[in-house]
A and B are shown apart, each in its own frame.
Chain A
Amino acid sequence: MKIKLPIYLDNSATTKIDPRVLAKMLPYLTDDFGNPASRSHSFGWTAEAAVENARQQVADAVGCDSKEIIWTSGATESINLALKGAAEFYQEKGKHLITVKTEHKATLDTMRELERIGFEVTYLSPETNGLIDIAKFAAAIRPDTIIASVMFVNNEIGVIQDISAIGQLCREKGIIFHVDAAQAIGKVDFSLADLNVDLMSFSAHKVYGPKGVGALYVRRKPRVRLLPLIHGGGHERGFRSGTLPAHQIVGMGEAFAIAKAEMATELPKLKYLQNKLLTGLQAIPEIYVNGDLEHRVPQNLNVSFNFVEGESLMMAIKDIAVSSGSACTSASLEPSYVLRAIGRNDELAHSSIRFSIGRFNTEEEIDYTIKLLQEKVAKLRELSPLWEMFQDGIDVENFQWDSHDTQRDVILH
């Protein structure tokens, strides 16, 4: 079988739209182009029926009532609406929020904004496996805590938090619990009916749906209140104004329906490929898996290749599309804050690669990836003075490096 290069292994960044999803969307860009808010003709009624059908599909996939789903432009907007909307509504009760250092920037930056306008935020450190210690979470709760926000599945290291236990704790304490579930759909089998979650954010494009559409779950019993961010025509019961993009919503509904229906067959396939990739990479000495392997979605593998630098590794493996935690690939020049938060040192953060496997990857592609990594890591280590030191028995980590000060030099004798 001929492999088409480059191989896409960045499915946690975004996914290719499923052809079945696209087929459902297309009519709503052509003949059925109506505005779902138009009540006076069949164009509007058709579009509205499609939007409501999609709302039911999403609700069925996550185990809630369709009235609890609000359409947004994506998970970032959902998170903003959930946190800012609830914080503003409940600020009379208290001004304290809890989140985790490894959350997505959509959450962390929203928290920073809330701090700027007078709220207080506790940023919990996860354990070295990426998971939250429930006792530490409980200890962070104060009498004035109003909201907690924890992601279901981490986007970089793929670990699954114990949402059930955290939710139970929050419910006992009367704290609004928001969960960023952008990376969880089709990867974790859950139902909102079984979880004490008040708000949950979703995205379509992480699950083979279109970009630019997402949803927020807002619990009705017990009822959660929000103040809207976007004002206008009063769409979505006033929670989120703006004409609904029917074609994108139809795509999201179909994508979620497929994810739910096929999870039972898809997860074992992803798990098989993840295992195969892991076993292949473990043939390389001095590699470190970042994040817990057991409480982890099968699509993610985040590995640090010690003694090679991340960006040069990315250049060497340009036939595969992956993400790196290296500073050199980010605008901030800081290595991954997620890997730092789980206690990885800078070197390992620099040399980390996130492989995220998806619906359309094949076993041949994984074989190719393993071979490529084995070859290129060996080649770069031949080039690496750190690898040479390691082989000479020198403790590279505790070596007296003359960091940052490039005017002075370390000379080896």
Chain B
Amino acid sequence: MSYSNKVIDHYENPRNVGALDKNDPHVGTGMVGAPSCGDVMKLQIKVGDNGVIEDAKFKTYGCGSAIASSSLVTEWLKGKSLDEAKTIKNSQIADELELPPVKIHCSVLAEDAIKAAIADYQAKHGK
């Protein structure tokens, strides 16, 4: 498997690894994938009172491109409103990381993780 330098950089120096308190009302948690498929992503966002994402953390079980995809989206999410965050598409992630075709599903999973985290946050706020 030959990865782009961007994937290798995110893999070797992953950004925003960690966990936020999932019971904090400001925090939305999304976990997607399944171990049997070889990929599980947990993405957490912390949303300020102004509706802007202040912080994002991830943990990922998966191949190099799954780790890179989730690391990249944590960078992209910070400072975005929830509506802006929802517009992030897997194709943008795949393009940025120059993912090979067999690894496109990793970018799909990252997009799903964003949507899941936002849905969890909004569910906490009765939306």
- A residues touching B (Cβ–Cβ < 8 Å)? 307-312, 315, 326-329, 333, 335, 345-347, 350, 382-388, 396-397, 401-404, 406-407, 409-413
Contact = CB atoms under 8 A, between A and B. Distances in A.
Nearest to B14: A383
Contacts of A347: 35-36
Contacts of B40: 385-386, 401
Contacts of B22: 412-413
B17 A409 contact: no
B72 to A, nearest CB: 14
Nearest to B102: A333
Given A328-B38, A406-B112, A407-B112, 14 more contacts: A307-B61, A309-B39, A312-B63, A328-B63, A345-B36, A346-B35, A383-B59, A384-B59, A385-B40, A401-B33, A401-B35, A403-B36, A412-B120, A413-B120
B59 A385 contact: yes
Interface stretch (B24-32, B46-54, B74-82, B91-99): B24-32
Nearest to B7: A315
Contacts of A402: 32, 34
A327 B108 contact: no
B19 A388 contact: yes
B19 A350 contact: no
Contact of B115 (A312, A345, A409, A410): A409
B15 to A, nearest CB: 11
B31 A412 contact: yes
Given A309-B38, A402-B32, A411-B116, A386 B61 contact: yes
Q: Which of B22, B29, B64 has the most CB of A within 10 A?
A: B64
A406 B36 contact: no
A372 to B, nearest CB: 14
Contacts of A329: 1
Contacts of B39: 309
Nearest to B38: A350
A322 B113 CA distance: 32
A406 B105 contact: yes
A409 B112 contact: yes
Contact of A312 (B64, B116, B123): B64
A75 B30 CA distance: 50
A310 B61 CA distance: 10
Contact of B63 (A311, A407, A413): A311
Interface of B: 1, 11, 14, 17, 19, 22, 29-42, 59-64, 66-67, 102, 105, 108-109, 112-113, 115-116, 119-120, 123
A377 to B, nearest CB: 13
Given A329-B1, A386-B35, A411-B31, A406 B63 contact: no
A333 B61 CA distance: 17
The 5 closest A-B pairs by CB, nearest first: A403-B34, A409-B116, A401-B34, A385-B42, A311-B63
A20 B95 CA distance: 51
18 contacts: A309-B38, A310-B38, A311-B63, A328-B1, A333-B102, A346-B38, A350-B35, A350-B38, A387-B61, A388-B42, A404-B37, A406-B108, A406-B112, A409-B115, A409-B116, A410-B116, A411-B30, A411-B116
A401 B1 CA distance: 27
B126 to A, nearest CB: 14
A315 B8 CA distance: 9
Contacts of A396: 35
Kindly name the residue among A326, A345, A387, A406 whose own CB sees the greatest number of chain B CB atoms within 10 A.
A406
B29 A412 contact: yes
A329 B1 CA distance: 8
A270 B17 CA distance: 40
Contacts of A335: 38
Contacts of B123: 411
A385 B40 CA distance: 7
A385 B63 contact: no
A251 B11 CA distance: 43
A403 B38 CA distance: 10
Contacts of A406: 32-33, 105, 108-109, 112
Given A312-B11, A401-B34, A404-B34, A385 B60 contact: yes
Contacts of B29: 411-413
A387 B40 CA distance: 11
B59 A312 contact: no
